[in-house]
Structure 1
């Protein structure tokens, strides 16, 4: 039986993506476990990931479960917007916005930016805490650009807007295995698994 890692996230798109990525390493994604809500107020991606991982780890300790937990914080950084939405990617435009509204807001913000200057990058920081309390980190980045209009129905978040360098399809036009070849989360997870010696 493969080892299960527990993800500090209720985002179903993110959970599905990590489940597939973990399977490539012979690992499983553990069941979703409720944990105290965390205010993501750190100054960087890794700090927010650490807050979430610590909250889930604390909950597992409280219920007497010994396991490895991990959390991610990811963001889209658009060069023409001086790195925005960045660490506030999931809250860009306000927490009340839906993802389609958030994407529309981003497109409006760069509507006057010509295609060659619509460069952007996805960043992912992962932090894991094992059953002993030891911490491990993994980082990933994918460079690309923002397309003129949404393309594709797969994925989640900003995937319909992001065209990775060297590709003709956005993340939302790719299958999960295709996205895993270049995604920031896949790269961060590979680094994390290597750091953990899995």
Structure 2
């Protein structure tokens, strides 16, 4: 019997990513559904001071409303020269939620005088799994790198075109989905949830 698990997101790329990670790990028996696949429910605003707080709040909301095991992630980029900002504000850094182009333009402007050796940054993802009347698990993945001076590549989303992972020549937006899954912050966090998800699958 297939068990439904809610990923508290409307982002099709995040759904595809989780399904791919489960398939690559050989975890069968779970049907990953998104917010567009379940009846709408009130979602709490992301007011947490940390990625972990926001992810857990979203997962609790989803599990409570749907009675399904719920995974939620909160992710963003922490820039060394900006003392870890945009951080939890990454998606709305330029003022409007999810405007990737505006966010990237603003970040580049803020770093215009920052020398190459001080352009370090890390993508951060906190993922929470909440099982109704059961466990709550919160994990964190980080992907260190540096920020380029102009966007490169048209894959991925968010700050991917600006981010060069440590040890690589390509931006995150130039990597294949499989290359990105294996290294990314969300991939690293979701991998830590695999044992719990495998247990759910039975």
Q: Within 2, Cα distance between the matches of 1:97 and 1:132? A: 33
In structure 1, the residue matched to 2:17 is 17
Q: How does 1:120-159 map to 2 (within 5 A)?
A: 120-159=121-160
C-alpha RMSD of the superposition: 1.8
- Shift in CA distance, 3/97, structure 1 to aligned 2, threshold 3 Å: closer
Which deviates more from structure 2 when the two are superposed, residues 116-125 or residues 131-140? 131-140
Supply the distance in 2 between the matched residues of 1:107 and 1:165 (Cα, whole angstroms): 19
Does residue 1:194 correspond to 2:195, yes or no? Answer: yes
Please list every run of 5 or more consecutive structure 2 residues that lacks an aligned counterpart in the other structure.
none
Of 53, 59, 64, the residue aligned with 1:58 is 64
- Paired with 2:19 and 2:41, the residues of 1 have a C-alpha distance of 19
Q: Distance in 2 between matches of 1:156 and 1:19?
A: 18
Asked if the contact 1:138–1:195 (Cα under 8 Å) also holds between the matched residues in 2, the reply is no
Question: Aligned residue pairs: how many?
Answer: 193
Instruction: State the shift of 1:112 in Å.
Output: 0.9
Query: Runs of 4 or more off by more than 3 Å in structure 1?
Result: 1-4, 194-198
User: How far apart in 2 are the matches of 1:113 and 1:22?
Assistant: 40
What TM-score does the superposition give when structure 1 sets the normalisation length? 0.90
Scaled by the length of structure 2, the TM-score of the pair is: 0.88
Question: Conserved in 1, the CA contact under 8 Å of 2:15 and 2:33?
Answer: no
Partner secondary structure for residue 100 of structure 1: helix
Give the drift of 1:196. Answer: 5.5
Structure 1 gap ranges (5+): 62-66
